[in-house]
Amino acid sequence: MDLKSGIDVSRLPQHVAIIMDGNGRWAKGQGMPRIYGHHNGVKAVRACTEAAAEIGIRYLTLYAFSTENWNRPEQEVNALMALLVETIGQEVKTLNENNIRLEAIGDISALPAASLQALKKGMRDTAQNTGMTLILALNYSSRWEITRATRQIASRVKQGLLHPDQIDEHTVQSELETHNYPDPDLLIRSSGEQRLSNFLLWQCAYTEFYFTPVFWPDIQKKDFWQAILEYQQRERRYGMTSDQLMMDHTPNI
């Protein structure tokens, strides 16, 4: 069956987030160093970006480097950063041809100068695009993000700009890195691991999860579309009953 043509484009997830996992194990299986897996992972990044843009996904977020990833061997961290610079430099033209805007979440100020420069150039050169937004999570973790948001809210309270009683979910949400994006509707994780690993903890409150055993470098467009088809089989109730949903209540989330 042609997976893509089975997708109901009137019921697409607006925002898909992906935890790209399994590069190291994939490389090990080939008797190669871990970085070989990361290099081959770029093909899967391209495949999923194209697969998402082709069906009309609005936001695609990729977990590319977590705050915990700094603890990996120095050689691997350096290679990942170099790969990032190289990939962004190579892909800007294709992003522009496909009207895709590149953005980032995370503490990017701590990235090595060359990586930060490449990222900023990539974002600047695609800022005018109005199609899909491709968001790279770089030096990102949810606990870092929520701690930072809390500090900012506390500072506004201290300055007398905000009363503690005025703090609600919207106040927190507006201080998150993702304040400009809708919450992910679907989260995909490759390589058989079934956990969130400090990724979008607040934002995934009502997200559907899809886990595939396929290692990231082997992920193809069909795997992305398979996840969308599975998503379309699910009923999202937002804490309500099925009957309420059938009566077309607007979810109060």
State which of positions 130-189 bind ligand FPP (CB under 6 A): 136
Count of CB atoms situated within 10 Å of the CB of 232: 15
Spell out the residues 6+ positions from residue 97 whose beta carbon is closer than 8 angstroms to its own: none
What six digits make up the tokens of 154? 């506390």
Residue type at position 90: Q
| Shorter beta-carbon distance to ligand FPP: residue 95 or 149 | 95
Contacting residue, 7, 12, 18, 20, with ligand FPP by CB under 6 A:
20
Q: Choose the binding region for ligand FPP from 82-90, 107-115, 154-162, 238-246 (rule: CB under 6 A).
A: 82-90
CB of 28 to ligand FPP, least distance (A): 7
Spell out the residues 6+ positions from residue 39 whose beta carbon is closer than 8 angstroms to its own: 83
Q: Total binding residues for ligand FPP by CB under 6 A?
A: 20
Distance CA 54, CA 4 (A): 9
Contacting residue, 83, 201, 214, 229, with ligand FPP by CB under 6 A:
83
The answer to whether the beta carbons of residues 32 and 205 sit under 8 Å apart is no
Active-site annotation holder among 2, 23, 40, 69: 69
| Shorter beta-carbon distance to ligand FPP: residue 60 or 153 | 60
Is 168 a catalytic site residue?
no
Q: Is 45 a binder of ligand FPP (CB under 6 A)? A: yes
Q: Is 42 a binder of ligand FPP (CB under 6 A)? A: yes
Contacting residue, 12, 13, 24, 231, with ligand FPP by CB under 6 A:
24
Q: Choose the binding region for ligand FPP from 20-28, 114-122, 199-207, 224-232 (rule: CB under 6 A).
A: 20-28
CA distances (Å), 72 to each of 35, 94, 140, 149, in order?
Answer: 12, 31, 15, 27
Active-site annotation holder among 2, 8, 21, 99: 21
CB of 23 to ligand FPP, least distance (A): 4
The sign of the torsion formed by the CA atoms of 191, 193, 195, 199 equals: negative
Contacting residue, 15, 38, 189, 221, with ligand FPP by CB under 6 A:
38
Contacting residue, 22, 106, 122, 184, with ligand FPP by CB under 6 A:
22
Q: Is 41 a binder of ligand FPP (CB under 6 A)? A: yes
Distance CA 209, CA 203 (A): 13
Distance CA 206, CA 236 (A): 8
Is 21 a catalytic site residue?
yes
CA distances (Å), 46 to each of 49, 64, 92, 129, 151, in order?
Answer: 5, 13, 12, 18, 36
Sheet arrangement for strand 15-19: 101-105, 133-140, 59-66, 15-19, 186-189, 208-211
Q: Is 60 a binder of ligand FPP (CB under 6 A)? A: no
Summarize as ranges the residues that interact with ligand FPP (CB under 6 A). 20-25, 34, 38, 41-42, 45, 62, 64, 69, 83-84, 87, 136, 191, 216
List, by residue number, the catalytic residues.
Answer: 21, 69
